Amino acid sequence: MTFLDTWTVFHSPAMLWVTLLAVGLVGLSKGGLGGAFALMGVPVMSLVMPPVLAAAVLLPVLLSMDAASLWIWRHWRDTEVLKVMLPAAMIGIVIGWATAAVTSDAMVRLLVGLVALGFALRALLGRFIGMAPRYVSRMGWLWGTIAGFTSFVAHAGGPLFQIQVLPKRLDPKLYTGTSVLFFAILNSVKVVPYAALGMFEQEVLISAALLLPLSVISVRIGAAIIKRMGPEVFYPFTYSMVLIVGVKLIWDGISALL
């Protein structure tokens, strides 16, 4: 018996290497480099382990990434966005926890994907048809609540945050810092209900600990790239990522329902 077999969930080298790839992609996203990479974490890991186990291993890693991201982006945040969306997201998490037993992960992903795809297409085509999305502060209660709910049940809160905040056209650093703080708080709050559901066993925590160095390195790489992006590059890139995320979520949802 090897160390991996005895103390971790990685019972083959393939499981470890695939997980390292997934963590690297998620880390780039956590650094600020597009939400599409973040959605690759659980699906990629699910190639070699059950999705529920993949989500359990990934959550402690996400918390370490959040800590690194919070330090890197500590000087950038939009309080107007946070004071509306954070309380709303807490409501969404409570709803997600209360309905976890009857909520279909696949249906949630499909619906979020459809919304994200519609938003991205409207944004990308808006300059030609005069229908570009507008920022409306009070809508943060709606999108924040849905983001909290979908983050809890399907790790898919990113597109809803983007739908609310991208139209505000914040400086890329300010947008990234606000997003980092928002999801760091959400992930921290999710620890309690996840623990209550019995998802953090010893093997899971040891496995997550092995992934921590890569998680920090990949976050720093993603942040370094974003800090060199101007708005003229950042926004087309980010809207394109929302489009990709929408298609990916629709595909995941339909595949699971069929």
The one-letter amino acid code at 64 reads S
Arithmetic mean of pLDDT over the chain: 83
Query: What's the CA gap between 13 and 145, in Å, rounded?
Result: 40
For residue 245, give both structure tokens. 């995320």
Q: For position 219, what pLDDT does the model report?
A: 92
pLDDT tens digit sequence for 5-59:
677 878 888 888 988 998 998 888 888 776 666 767 777 777 787 777 777 788 8
Q: Greater confidence, 113 or 217?
A: 217
Q: With 0-12 CB in 10 A as exposed, 13-18 as middle and 19+ as buried, what is 173?
A: middle
Query: What is the number of other CB atoms lying within 10 angstroms of the CB of residue 40?
Result: 17
Helices 172-196 and 212-226: crossing angle in degrees, nearest 10, is: 160
Please list, in sequence order, all residues whose beta carbon lies within 8 angstroms of the beta carbon of residue 213, skipping any fewer than 6 positions away: none
Q: For position 204, what pLDDT does the model report?
A: 83
The one-letter amino acid code at 6 reads T
Query: What's the CA gap between 146 and 188, in Å, rounded?
Result: 17
Nearest to 241 by CA among 43, 28, 36, 52: 36
Residue carrying the six token digits 């009857």:
102
Query: What's the CA gap between 229 and 242, in Å, rounded?
Result: 17
Q: Are 28 and 41 in contact (CB under 8 A)?
A: no
Q: For position 36, what pLDDT does the model report?
A: 60
Q: Are 143 and 160 in contact (CB under 8 A)?
A: yes
Query: What's the CA gap between 151 and 108, in Å, rounded?
Result: 10
Q: Are 207 and 79 in contact (CB under 8 A)?
A: no
pLDDT tens digit sequence for 131-185:
667 888 889 999 999 999 888 877 778 888 988 998 898 998 899 999 999 989 9
Q: With 0-12 CB in 10 A as exposed, 13-18 as middle and 19+ as buried, what is 186?
A: buried
Residue carrying the six token digits 């996840």:
194
Nearest to 165 by CA among 219, 239, 256, 254: 239
Number of structural domains found in the chain: 1
With H, G, I as helix, E, B as strand and everything else as coil, classify residue 221: helix
Instruction: Note down the domain range covering 44.
Output: 3-257
